[in-house]
Amino acid sequence: MIIEKINSPKDLKSLTTKELTILCDEIREVLLTKLSEHGGHIASNLGIVELTAALHYVFNSPIDKIVFDVSHQSYVHKILTGRKESFLEKDKYDDVSGYSAPSESEHDLFILGHTSTSLSLACGLAKARDLKGEKYNIIAVIGDGSLSGGEAYEGLNNIAQSDTNTIVIVNDNEMSIAENHGGLYQNLQDLRESNGKCEYNFFKALGLEYHYIEEGNDVAKLISALSEIKDSKKPVVLHVHTLKGKGYNYAEKDKEKWHWGLPFDLKTGESKVQVPVDYNELTANYLLKKIKQDSNVVVITSGTPSASAFTKKRREAAGAQFVDVGIAEEHAIAYASGISKNGAKAIYPVYSSFVQRTYDQISQDLCINNSPAVLIIFAGSVYGLNDVTHLGLYDITMMSNIPNLVYLAPTCKEEYFAMLDYAISQKEHPIAIKVPGGGVISREIAECDYSKINKFEITHQGEKVAILALGTFYHLGEQILDELSKYGLNATLINPKFITGIDKELLEKLKSNHELVITIEDGILEGGFGEKIASFYGTSKILVKNYGIKKSFPDRFVAEELLRENGISLEQITADILTLLNIK
Amino acid sequence: MIIEKINSPKDLKSLTTKELTILCDEIREVLLTKLSEHGGHIASNLGIVELTAALHYVFNSPIDKIVFDVSHQSYVHKILTGRKESFLEKDKYDDVSGYSAPSESEHDLFILGHTSTSLSLACGLAKARDLKGEKYNIIAVIGDGSLSGGEAYEGLNNIAQSDTNTIVIVNDNEMSIAENHGGLYQNLQDLRESNGKCEYNFFKALGLEYHYIEEGNDVAKLISALSEIKDSKKPVVLHVHTLKGKGYNYAEKDKEKWHWGLPFDLKTGESKVQVPVDYNELTANYLLKKIKQDSNVVVITSGTPSASAFTKKRREAAGAQFVDVGIAEEHAIAYASGISKNGAKAIYPVYSSFVQRTYDQISQDLCINNSPAVLIIFAGSVYGLNDVTHLGLYDITMMSNIPNLVYLAPTCKEEYFAMLDYAISQKEHPIAIKVPGGGVISREIAECDYSKINKFEITHQGEKVAILALGTFYHLGEQILDELSKYGLNATLINPKFITGIDKELLEKLKSNHELVITIEDGILEGGFGEKIASFYGTSKILVKNYGIKKSFPDRFVAEELLRENGISLEQITADILTLLNIK
């Protein structure tokens, strides 16, 4: 096999076109084998095989610098830059991350995983190159889906006026994770259908030189197109039409389903993993019901309908009451604010990691205006995604300190839906709900009037130690309570429910018969919930111990291990409490 | 005078074109009189007089809904919607804010002050209108400068596919605060020069219907153009060429200087207010020196060169080492990361309120990658801007909880420049520096190795009570120390310097001879510096009292009053300390 001889991009340069084509077929085989056994991003990598090979054939990485946007499509790049063993050898599968990783190779410049950043990063690389008087190519490879993000536009706008070598490759596979949305995509379609020659041209309107190549999976044609723009003295866009899922029948047919996947049977395409019913699925059913009951309800997604499990079928059922604004989190929040201000009901399910894109809009467009939109924060948990670029550990610190926002932490399924009911029905506040991590837990809950903002609930009245167990960790709080009872301790258990404020009255009362207050939260400690409790009790005799993850960027961790490192486990917390109370 | 008869937009409708033109002249007079006595946004309001009058003549506000982007150009709108007294009568000048304010009038839909949001907000208004089956016009008025912001593009992209009435008025006065930057602006120029007919068209490329009107200060022509697109059944863009500063000679000639100003002499154009040397000015001189010393240094602004006082003259002196990326904070951070990763030195001065636009990029593009770029945060203080949309109270909570970032709080001029020297010379961390609020203070400082991250400095060793006085409030800490000495207390004073971490060793040592620790910080308390100290001492006997502003959106406050409301004054803190130590 040719692939066995490829240890660096240099090894590509001596291959004939025919050999390159064979190599691409081999790579596709290797990808499908690994992904069917391991899972990962499938269709985007299958689509970009030839383009990646051509890039490394024509350009001279790492002197020429290539930045892959999002980088979930960089598997082929990894194979060609000295990391093929992690795709060929089963026991080395996990030696590479699913994204660009400078720690793995000098061919990866940035750790990245959020979309729409490559153009700005490349623009910066080019600026430094020019200041230092160096000469080489800077290439950004960006998917069509990523082009809807504001950061990509801002980058493109600055590249256009930079008057220096910056090569923008638009890898147009006609798809975001789901189908694309926004005016730009009609233009991309017109460009594809006219072989790049239609009347209006988004890139040319921004002042960029523009080239089009229809045969985006033909390595020879790609080499020729790339050779033409190599060493360009000014910014240039090469628009490449590729086929997402190329070479795997199921993926070509259902690109959305095959964007990312768990291990699957190569022959049948069936998933090998049984996924239990999760909050995404439960949420989809709930929201669809709301949509049918109330024509003023509208569910918004910013390019990730999977967050609330809005499959194509469900999107069709929702009709105009479901809007995918494309990868555009800033817009999604302002749009939700506009909808809510004008008397309809906007609900925006979004992943914790991506809501970071829209801090200012949450503050300015939403919260200053007190627009009663509803945000549902998915995977905001140590049990959520564990790639360093997709962590769900920061939403509490980011969101809970924004004035006017009410951020709720349900502890179980029943409470989650009760809070959703409240959030959707009220008109007073912007409300966000933090979906609990770690599987769906069901329990009986008491009636609650959530309009009484910042009202915590004592679910078990005890003494000496009170445990404020927020959201995900309420269940752990219950376990600690049981464990402490073995030592004759009747602890108090509190379900805070509200992340954005503290129940001063309740906290004040605890002083009378408690010595110690424990807080546990699902996220980093810094700027979070527990520190507010510590500050409240700062001038009293009550001791406070806060549990959360230490501020950091952990990568591909095992949740239970990370928690244990941060002192969060039944055994550790119980032991701490006994020590602090001088019982053991 | 005609203006005296205008109490609502309805009163415009009976006027003849000639009367409208006279009214516009009167408005301009009124604006100039108020602004010369009161200060405010000058040139943008002078430029938009006719367009605003025409909008209210043609459309039927508040049934038709008009959203002004940024809204610092909404003075004319305020005059025409029942608030003229606040422009005509000196003692009522402060009855209106400088921005759109729903509390003032039903003609203002949103509190807003950040740029590039109007399109998304309008898009949301239109969605709600359609869901509810209502019929009226939604109009967004956006300046050319605001169009470089990612949120504006995301909004435009969604409007383009919305297939419903949404009217986008591009108020093109050829300026942002300073001149425009980015590829888009060449296209706008081409459109202006070709009367809207040039080959490439940004708006048409996004699929939008496009109209152009050159005579943007001719009320009759504007009425005709607006009447044509009124009640459009689909999204439409009207590109209007206006003259920024129109009608005031000085402002027409130097649009940047006259964007915003303090009270001035109408005849000479001279400012009536002497501004003392501030950190902006000091920073400009410092950075220009750095630029001359090192060709790899590049200073970036996102449309606000005033943050670091980079006047036109200074920008010219800096040449390619100063880059204005336009209003594009997300890009600015990623660009800075790219520059720093490729071995040059990026410095990004930015206002506290606007850095909120780029939380995710600080986290992902900058901090995960540990790119050693330098951010200088201006007006991040209770003594900074006091409009609710421009507060500098949140940067600590927003930035200090992002992993890897080193956020420094200098206490005086000398420390500020020492920290800048360190930040620019090092290659280990992304570093942000919080410019102190409340005037430039000078004092002697000890040598410090800032590479020893999170090392606090004890500037006076005492006992019983330790005061951690961060940044701006170090001087207050000194005063408290003096005051306490009158009661025989020899307190400890600490300059924390680092906002992003705590000096555990030093805090541990304090336990031996202190009973109380005080923290004072310049920003909201929630998620800030003090709470971390409270959490650290949570399980010890040390009492902790945190001082900062309570999480809120205060509007047009007097700094000393807001501080006092939050218990922050020499008298209040001293009294608290004496009480907590049972001395008084």
Average pLDDT of span B262-284:
94
Q: How far is CA B122 from CA A359, B68, B107, in A?
A: 20, 10, 14
CB < 8 Å from B in window 451-510 of A: none
Cα dist. B185→A166, A183, B180, B182, B301 in Å?
A: 19, 20, 7, 6, 17
Residue of B nearest to A158 (CA): B182
- Note whether A440 and A277 are within 8 A (CB): yes
HEC readout, A143-155: ECHHHHCHHHHHH
pLDDT of residue A117: 98
Q: Using 50, 70 and 90 to split pLDDT, how confident is the model at B178? A: confident
- Neighbouring C-alpha atoms within 13 Å toward the C-beta of B317: 15
Q: Encode B124-160 in three state secondary structure.
A: HHHHHHHHCCCCCCEEEEEECHHHHCHHHHHHHHHHH
When the pLDDT of each residue in chain B is averaged and rounded to a whole number, the result is 97
Q: For B374, which DSSP code?
A: E
* Chain A touched by B151 (CB under 8 Å): yes
At position A46, the amino acid (one-letter code) is L
Out of B150, B337, B400, the one facing A121 most closely (by C-beta) is B337
CA distance B405 to A551: 11
- Strand B297-301 and strand B40-41: the pairing is unpaired
CA distance A434 to chain B (A): 18
The residue type at A390: H
Which chain A residues have a beta carbon less than 8 Å from that of B360? Answer: 114, 356-359
Calpha distance A391→A556 (Å, rounded): 9
Residue A198 has pLDDT above 90, yes or no: yes
Given a contact cutoff of 8 angstroms between Cβ atoms, the answer to whether A80 and A12 are in contact is yes
Q: What is the dihedral of CA A76, A77, A82, A83, to 10 degrees?
A: -50
Three-class secondary structure of residue B40 per DSSP: strand
Interface test with B, best of A70, A146, A158, A296 (most B CBs within 10 A): A158
Helices H, strands E: what count in chain A? 23, 18
Tell me the H-state helices in A9-113. 17-38, 43-47, 49-58, 75-78, 85-88
**What does the DSSP assignment read for A92-140?**
GGGGS-SS--TTT-TT------SSS-HHHHHHHHHHHHHHTT----EEE
| Lateral strand order in the sheet of A431-434 | A322-324, A297-301, A345-351, A374-378, A431-434, A406-408
What integer is the mean pLDDT of A375-399?
97
Is B130 in CB contact (< 8 Å) with chain A?
Answer: yes
Q: Which two tokens stand for residue A376?
A: 């549902």
* pLDDT above 80 (res A275): yes
**What is the distance, to the nearest Å, from the Cα of residue A285 to the centroid of all Cα atoms in its chain?**
22
Residue A582: its chain B contacts at CB < 8 A? none
Q: Order of strands across the sheet with B322-324?
A: B322-324, B297-301, B345-351, B374-378, B431-434, B406-408
Question: Which pTM was predicted?
Answer: 0.98
Contact A551 B367 (CB under 8 A): no
Residues B123-176 have pLDDT tens digits of: 999 999 999 999 999 999 999 999 999 999 999 999 999 999 999 999 999 988
**How far apart are the two ends of chain A, measured CA to CA in Å?**
65
Q: Report angle CA A547, A551, A557 to the nearest 5 degrees.
A: 85
CA distances from A504 to A456, A496, A499, A508, B369 (A): 9, 12, 13, 6, 40
pLDDT tops 80 at residue A584: no
Terminal alpha carbon distance of chain B: 65
Task: Identify which of A54, A109, A99, A38 has the alpha carbon closest to the alpha carbon of residue A73.
Answer: A99
| Confidence at residue B274, expressed as pLDDT on a 0 to 100 scale | 87
Task: Identify the residue whose tokens are 């520190």.
Answer: A531
Cβ neighbours for A121, distance < 8 A, ≥ 6 positions apart: A67, A109, A110, A112, A140, A155, B334, B335, B337, B338, B341, B365
For residue B580, give Cα distances in angstroms to A537, B508, B565. Answer: 13, 20, 19
The residue ranges of DSSP E strands in A291-437, in sequence order, are 297-301, 322-324, 345-351, 374-378, 406-408, 431-434
Name the B residues in 197-216 with CB < 8 Å from any A CB.
Answer: 200-202, 204-208
- Retrieve residue B318's tokens: 């800096």
pLDDT in tens, A81-126: 999 999 999 999 999 999 999 999 999 999 999 999 999 999 999 9
Task: List for chain B the helix, strand, coil content (%; round to 5).
Answer: 45, 15, 40
Q: Select the residue from B108, B157, B356 to test the A interface by mutation, using most A Cβ atoms within 10 A.
A: B157
Q: Identify the CA nearest to B244 among candidates B231, B224, B266, B259.
A: B259
Give me the amino acid identity at B192: R
A166 touches chain B (CB under 8 A): no
What pLDDT does B276 receive? 86
Q: What are phi and psi of B114, to 5 degrees?
A: -85, 150
Confidence band for A180, pLDDT divided at 50, 70 and 90: confident
pLDDT cut 70: percent of chain A above it = 100
Contact yes or no for B181 and A161 at CB 8 A: yes
Q: Helix, strand, or coil here: A65?
A: strand
B457's tokens: 């400095």
CB B508: neighbour CB atoms within 10 A?
12
In sequence order, which residues have a C-beta less than 8 Å from that of residue A536 and are 6 or more positions away? A502, A504, A507
In this structure, the strands spanning A167-172 and B167-172 are unpaired
- For B126, the closest chain A residue by CA position comes to A339
Q: Which of B120, B369, B535 sits opposite A110 (nearest CB)?
A: B369
Segment holding B337, helix H or strand E: helix B329-341
Structural domains of chain A, with CATH: 2-248 (3.40.50.970), 279-434 (3.40.50.970), 457-580 (3.40.50.920)
The size of the A-B interface in CB pairs under 8 A is 415
Where helices occur in B376-469 by DSSP H, the ranges are 395-399, 413-425
Q: What phi and psi, each to the nearest 5 degrees, are found at residue A583? A: -95, -30
Q: Among A148, A154, A346, select the one facing B331 at the smallest CB separation.
A: A154
Q: Could you tell me the pLDDT band of residue A181, with boundaries at 50, 70 and 90?
A: confident
Per-residue HEC secondary structure of B470-508 comes to: CHHHHHHHHHHHHHHHCCCCCCEEEECCECCCCCHHHHH
Residue B57 scores a pLDDT above 90: yes
pLDDT tens for A156-171 read 999 999 999 999 999 9
What per-residue confidence (pLDDT) applies to A178?
83
Among B residues 21-40, those touching chain A with beta carbons less than 8 Å apart: none
Is some CB atom of chain B closer than 8 A to the CB atom of A151?
A: yes
Question: Which of B114, B206, B328 lies closest to A187 in CB terms?
Answer: B206
pLDDT of residue A276: 86
Residues of A whose CB is below 8 A from B557: none
Is some CB atom of chain A closer than 8 A to the CB atom of B288?
Answer: no
Measured distance CA(A414)–CA(A425) in Å, rounded:
17
Q: Please indicate whether, in this complex, the C-beta atoms of B202 and A204 are within 8 angstroms of each other.
A: no
Q: For chain B, how big is the Rg over CA atoms in Å?
A: 26
Question: What pLDDT does residue B319 have?
Answer: 97
Residues near B56 by beta carbon (within 8 Å), at least 6 away in sequence: B9, B12, B77, B80, B81
Q: What is the pLDDT of residues A526-575, one digit of tens each?
A: 999 999 999 999 999 999 999 999 999 999 999 999 999 999 999 999 99
pLDDT at A274: 87
Instruction: Tell me the per-residue pLDDT of A23-58, one tens digit each, with 9 for 90 and over.
Output: 999 999 999 999 999 999 999 999 999 999 999 999
| Alpha carbon B357 to chain centroid, angstroms | 10
What is the pLDDT of chain A when averaged over all its residues?
Answer: 97
B35 vs chain A: nearest CA distance in angstroms? Answer: 26
Tell me if chain A has a CB within 8 Å of the CB of B340. Answer: yes
- A 536-565 residues with CB < 8 A to B: 537-541, 543-546, 551-553
Which amino acid is it at A423? A
> Which residues of chain A are within 8 Å of residue B368 when distances are taken between CB atoms?
111-112, 388-389, 553
Chain A residues in contact with B553 by the CB 8 A cut-off are: 367-368, 403-404
The amino acid that residue A238 corresponds to is L
Instruction: Kindly report, residue by residue over A202-254, the tens digit of the pLDDT.
Output: 999 999 999 999 999 999 999 999 999 999 999 999 999 999 999 999 999 99
Cross-chain CB nearest to B160 (options A183, A336, A359): A183
Q: Distance between CA atoms of A282 and A294, rounded to whole angstroms?
A: 19
**Residue that is written with structure tokens 């900058």 in the block:** B366
| Per-residue exposure over A346-362, b if at least 16 CB sit within 10 Å of its own CB, e if not | bbbbbbbbbbbbbbbbb
Distance of alpha carbon A456 from alpha carbon A532, whole angstroms: 14
Host H or E run for residue B282:
helix B279-293
For A317-342, write each residue's pLDDT tens digit: 999 999 999 999 999 999 999 999 99
Structure token pair of residue A15? 């291959």
Q: Does A580 touch chain B (CB under 8 A)?
A: yes
State yes or no: pLDDT of B534 exceeds 80: yes
Q: Tell me the shortest Cα–Cα distance from A272 to chain B, in angstroms.
A: 33
Please state, in angstroms and rounded to a whole number, the distance separating the CA atoms of residues B561 and B567.
Answer: 10
Per the DSSP assignment, residues forming a β-bridge with A261 are: A40
ipTM associated with this complex: 0.97
Cβ count near B130 (within 10 Å): 19
